[in-house]
Chain A
Amino acid sequence: MSAQQDAAQAVESYAGERYKYGFVTDVEADSAPPGLDHDTIRFISAKKGEPEWLLAWRIKAFERWLEMEDEEPAWAKLHYPPIDYQDACYYSAPKSDSDRPKSLDEVDPELLKTYEKLGIPLQEQEMLAGVAVDAVFDSVSVATTFKGKLAELGIIFCSISEAVKEHPALVQRYLGSVVPYSDNFFATLNSAVFTDGSFVYVPKGVRCPMELSTYFRINAANTGQFERTLIIADEGSYVSYLEGCTAPMRDENQLHAAVVELIALDDAEIKYSTVQNWYPGDAEGKGGIYNFVTKRGACRGANAKISWTQVETGSAITWKYPSCILQGDNSVGEFYSIAITNNRQQADTGTKMIHMGRNTKSRIVSKGIAAGRSDSTYRGLVRIQPKAEGARNHTQCDSLLIGAECGAHTVPYIESRNPSARVEHEATTSKISEDQLFYCRQRGIDEEDAVALIVNGFCREVLQELPMEFAVEAQKLVAISLEGSVG
């Protein structure tokens, strides 16, 4: 219970500080003014009616973050102007209806065109575009039925704010246990200011009968900026979680720094799928989202399994390395990734597989597609610890280039400290050939569709890992992301 002791101490030490800094921010206000100081943290915590231990944890993270001024990662192959963290807004209440578009007629037609291409029903379009909808729409009632069914099985699926109130013991036990508050610059910032996110707990021996999706969670809107997700699969349980949406979501915040923590106990399995399609900026890269994400899963128990699947097509900057810590003997980690960059987008993404237990296995399949003047980097670490007898890893890293002005880079790190380990790495880089394009076009398939077809083929191994309903949409998304990249 050292976490609790820490928390208690922290509360004590900050009780005095609260006075020192004053408590000037108006809790009744909808938004915190731009900038980040102790008051901002207290404002967020008070807004959410959080217990003292969580406030203390946030403050601790914030103070650590202040010391990390020089630790903003510079090793990634990403170029962006310095971020002014005091200029960002760290808490804003959802927009009131009067500020929102009244109907789809008021929404950017470009956005609507994309929705149409993705085949999104009208009602969902309204929700995604932030239209003020006064009628209770279907997804809410669907979500209610859905929640009842989960409750019968003892599965908890709610927002993390709700979990803090309803299931404090679980949250306190596991929050920060995989990604500590001091982990890295962005995760530490998130720990201080996270606004909301999902919480899932699947009890012993329960197999969650449906894909859990943020889409079904009520009040899921407006949690995107500093999202915090915590998923715990107890012994022998199984859960598949879908994050994100193929449709581009409206979001005014440029800086995103999410943290996701997964915990799989003995014989448990977590499958986590992401489709990320945040605004990539215009053709010159102006205005896109900066996405700095820390995702990590711990296979705490024997025979546990964690599988990450991601389709990353959005954002101007992607910095993301979903990782697995394979502590339990025979535990398994998987990472399947598609990263598409076009125009001026930059992605530096990959995974870390840390083998600690005996006979642990990991598999990495990464497909990077770069078009336009974009840059796509795979960066991965496979580490075999001394006790990981019989550990095995297989990494396959394929890059596809479209055009002559983009770049694809592969940076694999392999550290093996056990002679019985087997680590394999395969990498390829290719271009779409003129022969392939001519063949498709001779069959009446235009160049853009041909590129989409070829790229979807290139990504097939990863697309297959996505749940059915996601896979179809993801294929369309691949096509849309590459529009304008040829001809």
Chain B
Amino acid sequence: MLTIENLHATADGKPILNGLDLQVNTGEVHAVMGPNGSGKSTLAYVIAGREGYEVTAGSITYQGRDVLAMSVEERALNGVFLAFQYPVEIPGVGSATFLKTAVNAARKHRGEQEYDAMEFLKLVKAKRAALGIDDGMMRRALNVGFSGGEKKRNEMLQMALLEPSLAILDETDSGLDIDALKIVADGINALRAPERAMVVITHYQRLLDHVVPDKVHVLAGGRIVRSGGSELALELESRGYAGLGLEPSAAA
């Protein structure tokens, strides 16, 4: 599904990724862990195509296509979803309106009939309850005044409705209390499917107690330095990055 080879990338001219390789197959959930400044978010942004992040070498192939040649929205419409670490506020735009616009853009792209307001509300109703999102939250302006937990749950709702082929979750667990973490984890697990792959970027092991990954990678200094099964996350948890010989400062 996703093949990254020898990826070098800069953010605002500063080299961040230095020869990263990653292979994610359909149906798999991969965790990417690493200390602060190791390049985790940069990896997510480069896959999604954010401006300001320049690929200087290497390749990203998704479903056999060269991702780097696609625009941001083309990637999204072809099933690449990024759950943001810091979801953006858009004043005056209702969450439901935003979501409907996004879902209809995808439907239009697939040549399907766009949902009208009633059909859409029905669809949302079925998905939002599991994430503990009430109608009131759907009416509020997107992410404006949302708590950290509300923002992340809203990201999960967007993911559930857009049904991506490849979901990249950028520190979705950060800033969540235990209850919210459980809700978000359940949301992720509900979307695990044989036709879908996920890359879960996280700093801590605790999300991985609930979302058990097929593979775990450790990112440091802009490269994957170790890969293993879910037990690698537990090893990291007990020994720390330093215990693996990865000083955060050295990694940056």
B105 on interface, CB distance cutoff 8 Å: yes
Cα(A445)–Cα(B71), bound, Å: 11
435-467 of chain A: CB within 8 A of chain B? 435-436, 438-447, 449, 453-454, 456-461
Which of chain A's residues has its CB closest to B108's CB? A444
Encode contact with B along A232-254: 1 for CB under 8 Å, 0 otherwise.
00000000000000000000000
B101 on interface, CB distance cutoff 8 Å: yes
53-101 of chain B: CB within 8 A of chain A? 71-73, 75-77, 81-82, 84, 87-88, 90-93, 97-98, 101
**Contact yes or no, B106 A444, CB < 8 A:** yes
Which of chain A's residues has its CB closest to B168's CB? A442
Contact of A439 among B51, B84, B106 (CB under 8 A): B84
Cα(A439)–Cα(B90), bound, Å: 10
Chain B CB within 10 Å, residue with most, of A434, A436, A440? A440
Cα(A436)–Cα(B76), bound, Å: 15
**Contact yes or no, B51 A444, CB < 8 A:** no
Q: Which residues of B contact A454 (CB under 8 A)?
A: 90, 93
Q: Which residues of A contact B158 (CB under 8 A)?
A: 443
Q: Which residues of B contact A444 (CB under 8 A)?
A: 73, 76-77, 102, 105-106, 109, 162
Q: How large is the interface on B (under 10, 10 to 19, 20 to 34, 35 or more residues)?
A: 20 to 34
B48 on interface, CB distance cutoff 8 Å: yes
**Contact yes or no, B82 A453, CB < 8 A:** no
**Contact yes or no, A449 B90, CB < 8 A:** no
Check A446/B73 contact, CB under 8 A, given A453-B93, A457-B141. yes
**Contact yes or no, A441 B72, CB < 8 A:** yes
Contact of A458 among B48, B77, B91, B102 (CB under 8 A): B91
451-486 of chain A: CB within 8 A of chain B? 453-454, 456-461
Q: Which residues of B contact A441 (CB under 8 A)?
A: 71-73, 76
Check A442/B90 contact, CB under 8 A, given A434-B51, A449-B105, A453-B101. no
B50 on interface, CB distance cutoff 8 Å: yes
399-457 of chain A: CB within 8 A of chain B? 433-436, 438-447, 449, 453-454, 456-457
Cα(A459)–Cα(B90), bound, Å: 12
Q: How large is the interface on A (under 10, 10 to 19, 20 to 34, 35 or more residues)?
A: 20 to 34
Q: Which residues of A contact B105 (CB under 8 A)?
A: 443-446, 449
**Contact yes or no, B90 A438, CB < 8 A:** no
Q: Which residues of B contact A458 (CB under 8 A)?
A: 91-92
Q: Which residues of B contact A445 (CB under 8 A)?
A: 73, 101-102, 105
**Contact yes or no, B90 A443, CB < 8 A:** no
Q: Which residues of A contact B81 (CB under 8 A)?
A: 442
**Contact yes or no, B84 A443, CB < 8 A:** no
Q: Which residues of A contact B71 (CB under 8 A)?
A: 441
Chain B proximity of A452: nearest CB distance (Å): 9
Cα(A445)–Cα(B74), bound, Å: 9
**Contact yes or no, B92 A442, CB < 8 A:** no
Which of chain A's residues has its CB closest to B86's CB? A435
Chain B proximity of A367: nearest CB distance (Å): 10
Chain B proximity of A347: nearest CB distance (Å): 21
**Contact yes or no, A461 B92, CB < 8 A:** yes
Cα(A457)–Cα(B52), bound, Å: 26
101-143 of chain B: CB within 8 A of chain A? 101-102, 105-106, 109, 141-142
**Contact yes or no, B76 A456, CB < 8 A:** no
A-B contact pairs, 24 of them (CB 8 A): A434-B52, A435-B88, A436-B90, A438-B48, A438-B72, A439-B84, A440-B90, A441-B73, A442-B82, A444-B73, A444-B76, A444-B102, A444-B109, A445-B102, A445-B105, A453-B90, A453-B97, A454-B90, A456-B92, A457-B91, A457-B92, A458-B91, A458-B92, A461-B92
Q: Given A439-B88, A440-B102, A460-B93, 12 more contacts at CB 8 Å?
A: A434-B52, A439-B87, A440-B98, A442-B81, A442-B84, A443-B76, A443-B162, A444-B77, A444-B109, A456-B93, A457-B91, A457-B141
